[in-house]
Amino acid sequence: MERTFVMVKPDGVQRGLVGEIIGRFEKKGLRIVGMKCLVPSRALAESHYAVHKGKPFYEPVVEFITSGPVVAMCLEGPDGTIEMVRLMMGKTSPLEAAPGTIRGDFANTTQQNLIHGSDGPETAAVEIALWFRPDELL
Ligand code: GTP
Ligand code: MG
């Protein structure tokens, strides 16, 4: 089994797409092993996006992610789940995200692209530990 960290970003919550997004993962057969709604603190957002520190979009993306409630999730499925979730999300840019993916179907800007998903096993482990205490996971 493999676990990944997924977050519906503030635009997804504001646009009422939480059910649509979570529903896709549920229908795909992934198990929700942790889920919570929160407004991320600046410290949490900075840690989450630490890898992008120094890039031109770092400050805007930290601002954006702390601008309202998000839904943070830990999803579990068979080996390959991390990659599968990334495929279901679609590419970062809405111009490249294929129809049928979450971003391809619903996002139209690169920053407000609705969803985050861990990009590899090491990142997933770090992000799950960053966003959830062990007792918050089933
Ligand atoms: P995440 O799952 O959110 O990490 O997206 P990603 O892995 O597809 O993209 P990446 O990690 O490269 O970038 C993190 C986030 O920063 C993206 O999801 C966007 O919200 C934002 N971002 C990335 N590149 C750009 C950019 O060129 N311009 C702007 N404004 N935002 C960007
Ligand atoms: Mg990323």
Q: Which of 4, 126, 114 is nearest to 64 (CA)?
A: 114
What pLDDT, on a 0 to 100 scale, did the predictor assign at position 13? 98
Q: For ligand 1, pick from 51, 110, 130 the residue to mutate: most ligand atoms within 8 Å of CB.
A: 110
Percent of the chain at pLDDT > 70 equals 100
| Ligand number with the minimum distance to the CA of 116 | 1
User: 39 pLDDT band (50/70/90 cuts)?
Assistant: very high
Residue 29 binned pLDDT confidence (cut-offs 50, 70, 90): very high
Distance, in Å, from the CA atom of 6 to the CA atom of 98, rounded to the nearest integer, reads 19
Strand pairing category for 31-38 and 115-117: unpaired
Instruction: Give the position, in ligand 1's atom list, of the atom nearest the Cα of 117.
Output: 2
Distance 129 CA to ligand 1 centre (A): 21
Q: Sorting pLDDT into bands at 50, 70 and 90, what band is 78?
A: very high
Q: pLDDT over 90 for what percent of the chain?
A: 100
Among the listed residues 116, 117, 118, 127, the single catalytic one is 116
The pTM score is 0.97
Distances (CA, A) of 88 to 40, 92, 102: 24, 12, 6
- The stretch 27-37 carries a mean pLDDT of 98
CA distances from 136 to 2, 74, 87, 90, 112 (A): 17, 10, 26, 28, 28
Q: Are 107 and 113 in contact (CB under 8 A)?
A: yes
Ligand 1 pocket mutation, candidates 113, 115, 118, criterion most atoms within 8 A of CB: 113
Does the active-site annotation cover 116?
yes
Average pLDDT over every residue of 68-78? 98
Amino acid identity at 57: F
pLDDT at 28: 98
Report how far ligand 2's centroid is from the alpha carbon of 134 (Å): 23
How many residues would you count in the chain? 138
User: Residue 116 in 3-state DSSP?
Assistant: strand
